[in-house]
Amino acid sequence: MCGITGIVNLDNNRINKKILLAMNQALKHRGPDDEGFWIENNIGLAQRRLSILDLSPLGHQPMFYDRKNLVIVFNGEIYNYIEIRDELLKLGYKFRSQTDTEVILAAYQEWGIECLKKFNGMWAFVLYDRRQNQIFAARDRMGVKPFYYFSDKNKFLFASEIKAILKHPEVKAKPNDKIVWDFLICGLVDHDEETFFSGVKELRPGH
């Protein structure tokens, strides 16, 4: 179990490091082995790591690839990463680590977002493509790994747990009245993307 979180300031304001680290600290229990963060202008990514594959520092996240043109924070496990790695090796790709995280980066470089079709496993990740200047977020087909987000005209926030998002000073812990009502009265918990907190949503499985 790892934890990921991050901020994208859509108004292009620089990332407040203290806020990003506070969000990451809220996920400390998910990854006691290592922590890392990366900030570039209006984008900040952070991760708490529970080391499973490649216990060396080469597994540190955020992880970079292609001369740092790709950067990722990842929570999960790609069960068939060795097979995908072998396929990429035959295509001329090289790897520094023994992690599935690096395989995701190389797979994205080769196949773009279609790389998801190659993966068998459980995952939630955010990948920043510097060359395209775009964020790619994905969650596994069964929704095993959690992914929550908040978005308004100024910012996009994401995290493995809602409480990390609530560490951002501009996000208030305001109840989503309809969801709370449906849960208390009807026991209903499935509302598509909606959560108990107003404005905080869950990325649906397979997206």
Average pLDDT score over residue span 165-194: 78
Average pLDDT, the chain: 92
Q: How far apart are CA 148 and CA 198, in angstroms?
A: 12
Phi, psi at residue 17, to the nearest 5°?
-60, -40
Among the ranges given (3-12, 17-26, 160-169, 173-182), the one the predictor scored with the smallest mean pLDDT: 173-182
**For residue 195, is it within any domain?**
no
Average pLDDT score over residue span 175-182: 73
Q: What is the pTM of this model?
A: 0.92
Q: How far apart are CA 154 and CA 206, in angstroms?
A: 26
Please give the structure tokens belonging to residue 190.
Answer: 């499935």
Q: Give per-residue burial for 84-118: e unless 16+ CB within 10 Å, then b.
A: bbeebeeeebeeebbbbbbbbbbbbbbeeeebbeb
Tell me how many domains the chain contains: 1
Average pLDDT score over residue span 28-46: 94
186 in catalytic set: no
User: C-alpha angle with apex 141: 53 to 65, nearest 5 degrees?
Assistant: 45
Residue with the bigger pLDDT between 127 and 190: it is 127
Given a cut of 80, whether residue 28 has pLDDT beyond it is: yes
In this predicted structure, what is the pLDDT of residue 187? 59
Task: Please state, as a whole number, how many other Cβ atoms lie within 10 Å of the Cβ of residue 137.
Answer: 18
Q: How far apart are CA 29 and CA 16, in angstroms?
A: 23
Residue with the bigger pLDDT between 53 and 80: it is 80
Given a cut of 70, whether residue 188 has pLDDT beyond it is: no
**For residue 182, is it within any domain?**
no
Q: 1, 2, 65, 84: which is the annotated catalytic residue?
A: 2
Which residue range(s) make up the domain with 117? 3-171
**For residue 184, is it within any domain?**
no
In this predicted structure, what is the pLDDT of residue 194? 84
In this predicted structure, what is the pLDDT of residue 56? 72
Average pLDDT score over residue span 78-101: 97
Q: What is the CATH number of the domain that holds 15?
A: 3.60.20.10
Residue given tokens 């910012």 in the structure block: 155
In this predicted structure, what is the pLDDT of residue 9? 98
Identity of the amino acid at 128? Y
